Each structure stands twice: as C-alpha cells, then as structure tokens.
C-alpha cells in the first residue's frame, strides 16, 4: 500500500512509502535525511492514513532525536467522482475566477489552522495548482472596473498533498451558495485533468461533512494529523 505523508512547518514535503516494502526503521532513516527538515523542532504530519499510524508510532527516534508521536486531529478523507448539480445559480453580483498569489495573505489569515502553514506556502500552491475564487463586483455608476478592483469573498484551492481545502466564505457573503459553487468548480477542473477531488475533514466538523456530502462527496479512509515532538537528543 502506498502512503502519503505531508510534513509541514516552514517547509511542506510529500513522502511516499509502502508499509509492505519498507520497515518503520527504513522510513525513519529516510525522514532523518530529508534536507532542511529540523527534527529538533516539532514537525506536523498532515493527512496520515490510519494504516500508517502504527508504523510512525513505533519509531523511537528520528534524525538524532528521541521523539513522541502525538495524534492531534482525527478525520476522514472524502472524495468526489460525480459532482452534484446545484439548485440555484451564482447571484449576478458575483463571478468565478482563479486565485492570484497576492490573495495568499487573506486566505492564510482566515484559515482556522494557519499555524500549520505560511502565507508563502499558500502563495506557491496558488501559483502551481488549480484554485477557484469568487469575486464580488464593485461597480461605480453601474459600470464595473477591472477584475482587480473586485473583492474576493469566497475561495478553495488545491494544496501540495493533492487535496482541496482552506474553503472559506467571508461572513457577510454566506448562505448564498458561494462555497458550493467554488467547491464544485474546482472539483470539475480536477476531474477534467484526470485527478480525483478529495478533502480531509475532522470528525468533529459536522457542518463541513454535511456540506461536502450534499455536493456528492463520499467518506473514504480514516486519516490523522500528528505532531512529532523531540524529547531528547540521541547523539
């Protein structure tokens, strides 16, 4: 089985391994030699599949440090194969576009878990991967200026581990179906490129689960976010 491990702090790195082909010690050796990853500081591991958690928990040390593996977040992956059809159209005062890298700070500021990432990483994601933003027209005398004068009010984008996320709508624009439009627009982009749209949702987040299930997302495997904490140097 192939696993995906996303390490985030100042860096965001993807690691793939098979629990059938690699022992936990081999994985620890590989992780310890990833350039620029400082194991003397806590490292967050996002979207770790449950089947990989025992392998990680069995490690006593990584990169010259004794470590403790703490599970901080438990949830499931939800994937979409056939997008649903929304019952209403996007209100005329809004339009759909792609995010720009200068939107990264706004996205990072409004993300509940922004201590896991940085605005620079989000900017890189926006530049390299598909995204959807919804802008509100800012007319003057009934005529729109350029798109740059419009206001970003809802968004979702693809991140390095391949999942959709950071979905958010500004409070004053909620209950108008904007997040649903943005999510399905991005999902269709991914499906057209031969990619499977999926999200990682915490088990506690019932509103998000209901929102995505209403759009056609189906629950898949269990996953965790864990924190690897150094306790003592081994060297």
Q: Are residues 71 and 97 in the same domain?
A: no
Distances (CA, A) of 8 to 5, 13, 38, 44, 147: 10, 7, 11, 6, 33
Structure token pair of residue 12: 């965001």
Q: Which of 129, 125, 120 is nearest to 186 (CA)?
A: 129
* Residue 86 pLDDT exceeds 80: no
- CATH code of the domain covering residue 113: 3.40.630.30
3-state secondary structure of 226: strand
What's residue 146's pLDDT? Answer: 52
Look at the pTM and tell me if it is higher than 0.85.
no
* Residue 218 pLDDT exceeds 80: yes
For the ranges 47-61, 107-121, 214-228, the lowest mean pLDDT is seen at 47-61
Structure token pair of residue 17: 């391994």
The verdict on residue 46 lying in a domain is: yes
The verdict on residue 177 lying in a domain is: yes
The verdict on residue 215 lying in a domain is: no
Strand partners, 94: 136
For the ranges 82-91, 93-102, 167-176, 178-187, the lowest mean pLDDT is seen at 82-91
Q: Are residues 117 and 169 in the same domain?
A: yes
3-state secondary structure of 138: coil
Instruction: Report the mean per-residue pLDDT for the chain.
Output: 85
Structure token pair of residue 74: 């438990």
pLDDT single digits (tens) 134-166: 999 976 545 554 555 799 999 999 987 788 999
What's residue 145's pLDDT? Answer: 47
- Overall residue count recorded for the chain in this entry: 235
* Residue 105 pLDDT exceeds 80: yes
**Higher pLDDT pick, 145 / 11:** 11
Structure token pair of residue 30: 């590989």
* Residue 209 pLDDT exceeds 90: yes
pLDDT single digits (tens) 167-195: 999 999 999 999 999 999 999 999 999 99
What's residue 3's pLDDT? Answer: 47
Q: Are residues 130 and 26 in the same domain?
A: no
Q: Find out whether 86 and 184 touch, Cβ atoms under 8 Å.
A: yes
Q: Are residues 32 and 106 in the same domain?
A: no
* Residue 79 pLDDT exceeds 70: yes
Q: Find out whether 47 and 212 touch, Cβ atoms under 8 Å.
A: no
Task: Summarize the confidence of residues 30-47 as an average pLDDT.
Answer: 79
d(CA 223, CA 9): 19
């Amino acid at each position: 089985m192939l696993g995906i491990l996303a390490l985030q702090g100042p860096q965001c790195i993807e690691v793939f391994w098979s629990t059938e082909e690699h022992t936990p010690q081999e994985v620890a050796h590989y992780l310890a030699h990833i350039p620029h990853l400082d194991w003397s500081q806590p490292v967050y591991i996002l979207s770790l599949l449950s089947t990989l958690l025992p392998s990680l928990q069995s490690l006593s040390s990584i990169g010259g440090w004794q470590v403790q593996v703490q599970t901080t977040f438990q949830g499931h992956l939800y994937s979409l194969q056939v997008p649903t059809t929304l019952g209403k159209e996007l209100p005329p005062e809004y339009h759909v576009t792609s995010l720009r890298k200068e939107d990264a700070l706004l996205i990072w500021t409004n993300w509940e878990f922004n201590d896991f990432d940085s605005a620079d990483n989000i900017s890189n994601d926006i530049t390299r991967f598909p995204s959807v933003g919804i802008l509100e027209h800012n007319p003057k005398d009934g005529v729109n200026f350029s798109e740059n004068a419009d206001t970003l009010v809802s968004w979702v984008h693809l991140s390095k581990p391949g999942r959709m996320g950071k979905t958010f709508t500004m409070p004053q624009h909620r209950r108008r179906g904007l997040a649903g439009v943005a999510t399905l627009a991005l999902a269709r982009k991914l499906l057209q490129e031969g990619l499977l749209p999926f999200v990682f949702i915490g088990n506690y987040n019932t509103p998000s689960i209901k929102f995505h299930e209403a759009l056609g997302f189906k629950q898949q495997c269990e996953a965790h976010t864990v924190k690897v904490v150094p306790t003592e140097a081994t060297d």
